[in-house]
Amino acid sequence: MGRRKVAVLGATGTVGQRMIQALDGHPWFELAELAASERSAGRRYADAVEGRWKLEGGIPDYVRDMPVLPCSPDIESSLVFSALDSGVAGPIEDEFADAGHYVCSNAKNHRMEDDVPLVIPEVNPGHLEALEAQKSNRGRQGFVVTNPNCSTIGLVVALKPLDDAYGARRAHVVTSQAISGAGYPGVASLDIHDNLVPYISGEEEKMEAESRKLLGSWENGFRYASMGISAQCSRVPVIDGHMEFVFLGVDDPADVDDAMRVMEAYRGKPQELGLPTAPEQPVIVFRDDDRPQPRLDRYMGSGRAAGMAVSVGRLREDTCDDGLFDYKFVVLSHNTVRGAAGAAVLNAELLEAEGYLR
């Protein structure tokens, strides 16, 4: 029984490169096709990506000589990963789904649509039920499943166990986001060297809206979580790893030790199903004062799941005694692994395990 052949759309970009890494040696999926924009199509992958491969370790050998195809739905692979830029992703992904492909997308375009699942497998696997509606609404055999924005994922994976246990009510979050999140060439060095930028276009809106969809439910329609989320996003001079500072108010608080245990004990569908890219423990809780840190801890998780575990640290009671907020803590997650390429691959693994890929 062979591995399922898969394709990556947008294979030359920062997230596409991470997808190629994430699929290298995958037990279920075989990277069979690469596609990218017209500028790259028709070229050998190593030539098309020349000067733009920015990951340690280089291009896997078997990928170097693969041809880059245009992003057209006559691609053979049934399962397609989209690392396309949001400027073009929307209609292309629709075209693929209409042609019967299963699209796991990292792009923002379809995330908030009424019949498109926005999924973190540990958090809301049940949202996949929306796929029936999507197929029926749109008269398509294929479908589009999306993963959230890179800054949303870390936050929501950390919030989910606390929400389940205590009822999350209000979260304030400030992010310190890595430069790889902006792609390549992305952030100019003159903009970020010895500096930070207190603004990332559209990021706060995405975090606020996506989180409430993810923590909500599917009941023949998406019901958004009622919790309030207010975000401030910034860019810092770090290659990989988004750090987030969270203030959280809940309905029924317990003490800090209990909250730590709740986070550490949390397991979801991917752990239950033993998905290949799933970390054994989705949330790692640090007890040292000064951890996690991006450079040291961004690759938490082991083997295929390196970079898929979310780290939490400095979990403590909120300082004020007005009862509005209960906890303060920091969250770290790898923005292009757990926050992008690995997220899409984990979604595909869930789809496969749950029988959505026929």
> Cβ-count burial of 346 within 10 angstroms (0-12 exposed, 13-18 middle, 19+ buried)?
buried
H or E element that contains 105: strand 102-105
Among 26, 101, 110, 150, the one annotated catalytic:
150
Nearer to a copy of itself, 59 or 75 (CB): 59
Tell me how far, at minimum, the Cβ of 271 lies from a copy of itself, in Å.
Answer: 19
Binding mask 232-261 for a copy of itself (x = CB under 8 A): x-x-xxxx---x-x-x--------------
The Cα–Cα gap between 73 and 259 comes to 47
Tell me how far, at minimum, the Cβ of 294 lies from a copy of itself, in Å.
Answer: 5
Tell me how far, at minimum, the Cβ of 281 lies from a copy of itself, in Å.
Answer: 14
Give the residue from 349, 348, 342 showing the smallest Cα distance to 102: 348
193 part of the active site: no
104 part of the active site: no
Contacts of 223 (CB under 8 A, 6+ apart): 216, 217
Among 75-83, 110-118, 143-151, 230-238, the segment contacting a copy of itself (CB under 8 A): 230-238
Among 64-72, 97-105, 266-274, 296-304, the segment contacting a copy of itself (CB under 8 A): 296-304
Nearer to a copy of itself, 219 or 288 (CB): 288
Instruction: Identify residues 116-155 at the interface with a copy of itself (CB under 8 A).
Output: none
CA distances from 197 to 149, 175, 191, 221, 261 (A): 19, 11, 8, 38, 35
Instruction: Name the residue type at position 156.
Output: V
Nearer to a copy of itself, 137 or 195 (CB): 195
Nearer to a copy of itself, 102 or 286 (CB): 286
Nearer to a copy of itself, 55 or 254 (CB): 55
Q: At what angle do helices 14-23 and 342-353 cross, to 10 degrees?
A: 50
| One of 25, 67, 228, 274 touching a copy of itself (CB under 8 A) | 228
The Cα–Cα gap between 111 and 289 comes to 36
> Cβ-count burial of 280 within 10 angstroms (0-12 exposed, 13-18 middle, 19+ buried)?
middle
Tell me how far, at minimum, the Cβ of 272 lies from a copy of itself, in Å.
Answer: 24
Strand-pair category, 217-218 with 222-223 = antiparallel
* Contact between residue 295 and residue 238 where contact means Cβ atoms under 8 Å apart: yes
Instruction: Name the residue type at position 271.
Output: Q
How many residues sit close enough to a copy of itself to count as binding (CB under 8 A)?
A: 69
Instruction: Identify residues 29-68 at the interface with a copy of itself (CB under 8 A).
Output: 50-51, 53-58
Tell me how far, at minimum, the Cβ of 47 lies from a copy of itself, in Å.
Answer: 12
Q: First vs last Cα of the chain: how many Å apart?
A: 15
Nearer to a copy of itself, 219 or 321 (CB): 321
What does DSSP assign to residue 44? B
The Cα–Cα gap between 102 and 16 comes to 17
Binding mask 298-337 for a copy of itself (x = CB under 8 A): xx-------------xx---xxxxx-xx--x-x-------
| One of 187, 305, 309, 315 touching a copy of itself (CB under 8 A) | 187
What does DSSP assign to residue 66? P
Binding-site ranges for a copy of itself (CB under 8 A): 14, 50-51, 53-58, 170, 172, 174, 176, 179-180, 184-199, 201, 204, 208, 228-232, 234, 236-239, 243, 245, 247, 288-296, 298-299, 313-314, 318-322, 324-325, 328, 330
Catalytic residues: 150, 242
